[in-house]
Structure 1
């Protein structure tokens, strides 16, 4: 029965796109002395682990700004590859601990459902790249998300190398990554 449960959970997570792993979430270091004000603004997604909420999406961006209550407004946008129609979603992020620690809890209220998700900035130089990790522990597995973001719509090879170096530092598997198309974005 346990084996069937594990197969079912892995199957469900796999079809939704996030990466399921039969292990706990790794405890990675995040950016020290994180400067939220420097992080705010627009980021262009370059690579990600496949996930259900970005299915058929291209031209994916995330824009962060401060809300009056001190939380961070999160505005995500993408264009549907098939229809060319834009799709956006707005949520918010709050620090998961100290404000200088690059760990946040992100929430996107949708249809009465308002799940919280971790958003950890593993590394950023604030001006060219950001590597973002998310992992949640479920019964018997963890589900993992990864985003490689750039301030440029199409990151330079040098910027991509910096992001890959972060993945290598933490031994994060690149085989689950997909490239985000950033062409013909209106």
Structure 2
């Protein structure tokens, strides 16, 4: 009989931590404010469960709608495949007014599923401790979660959460850390913007491009390559040396010129200079 109860309890509790006896009478947090609890929470640690054995980067989002409803979305990334799974549902407050007791109804599962949680304590800004217990006769199973606002919480924040567990005498022996590192989500093919008819058009266009034959380019000969020639400047006219008028020398001037020629380089004598030289030279008697 006990074995039947244990097997039924484990099957319904998704391999949570089973214990003998009735569920502990843990009182949820008083004066709980759901509006301050809204937002994103990251799972830092949890009780061991087989259903979340290969999960990482677990995130829970609580959103309030204009109609006053509170929606819940649990995002879990598979550790082996990298694919993200989302469990969606709605939340409602239960129990006495002002206490942190909530009921979540999951609608994205194959069958609707209700789960009751208790918020044992939270400061709304850094940590929260959630606890759940379900019993079947004298056997019960417990679940617990440590949530943080930061994906990687500081050590002092985790110490505050551990203090809540110690206050309620909840054993930390079965807690496992949730990996929140490298939380890159692979793109979902179903969420691709190119889908349906558009994807068919894209595929047809790609097929047509594949069928187009592009002729192979032939090697270009060096003689066919146009060469950039620099513009040639027009040849400038050659400057011709000015012709010096021939100087007519007298017999004495010729003799002096011959002497100068034999003594050194010939120096051109302008007509006016020659006349001055002629005036200075003594007049020689003409030979008869």
Q: TM-score, normalised by structure 1?
A: 0.90
The correspondence of residues 1-80 of structure 1 with structure 2, limited to 5 A, is 2-9=1-8, 12=11, 16-80=14-78
1:79–1:97 CA distance, 2 compared to 1 (3 A)? same
For 1:147, which of 145, 148, 173 is the aligned residue? 145
How many residues get paired? Answer: 183
Question: Which sections of structure 1, spanning at least 5 residues, go unmatched?
Answer: none
SS in 2 for 1:29: coil
| Contact in 1 for aligned 2:17/2:141 (Cα 8 Å) | yes
1:98–1:52 CA distance, 2 compared to 1 (3 A)? same
1:8 positional shift: 2.8
SS in 1 for 2:4: helix
Aligned position for 1:176: 174
1:138 positional shift: 1.7
1:137 positional shift: 1.7
Give the whole-Å Cα distance in 2 for the aligned partners of 1:12 and 1:46.
26
Give the whole-Å Cα distance in 1 for the aligned partners of 2:26 and 2:3.
31
SS in 1 for 2:75: strand
1:68 positional shift: 4.0
Aligned position for 2:104: 106
1:43–1:10 CA distance, 2 compared to 1 (3 A)? same
1:30–1:83 CA distance, 2 compared to 1 (3 A)? same
- Greater fraction of residues in strand: 1
Give the whole-Å Cα distance in 2 for the aligned partners of 1:54 and 1:78.
9
Give the whole-Å Cα distance in 1 for the aligned partners of 2:2 and 2:23.
21
Deviations 1:61-83 (A, max 9, x none): 00101134433211100111001
Deviations 1:86-138 (A, max 9, x none): 11110111111245211001111222x22221111000000000000011122
| Contact in 1 for aligned 2:9/2:140 (Cα 8 Å) | no
Give the whole-Å Cα distance in 2 for the aligned partners of 1:54 and 1:72.
24
Deviations 1:140-169 (A, max 9, x none): 311211110000001110011001000000
SS in 1 for 2:87: strand
Aligned position for 1:81: 79
SS in 2 for 1:118: strand
| Contact in 1 for aligned 2:40/2:61 (Cα 8 Å) | yes
Choose 1 or 2 for highest CA Rg: 2
Question: Which sections of structure 2, spanning at least 5 residues, go unmatched?
Answer: 185-288
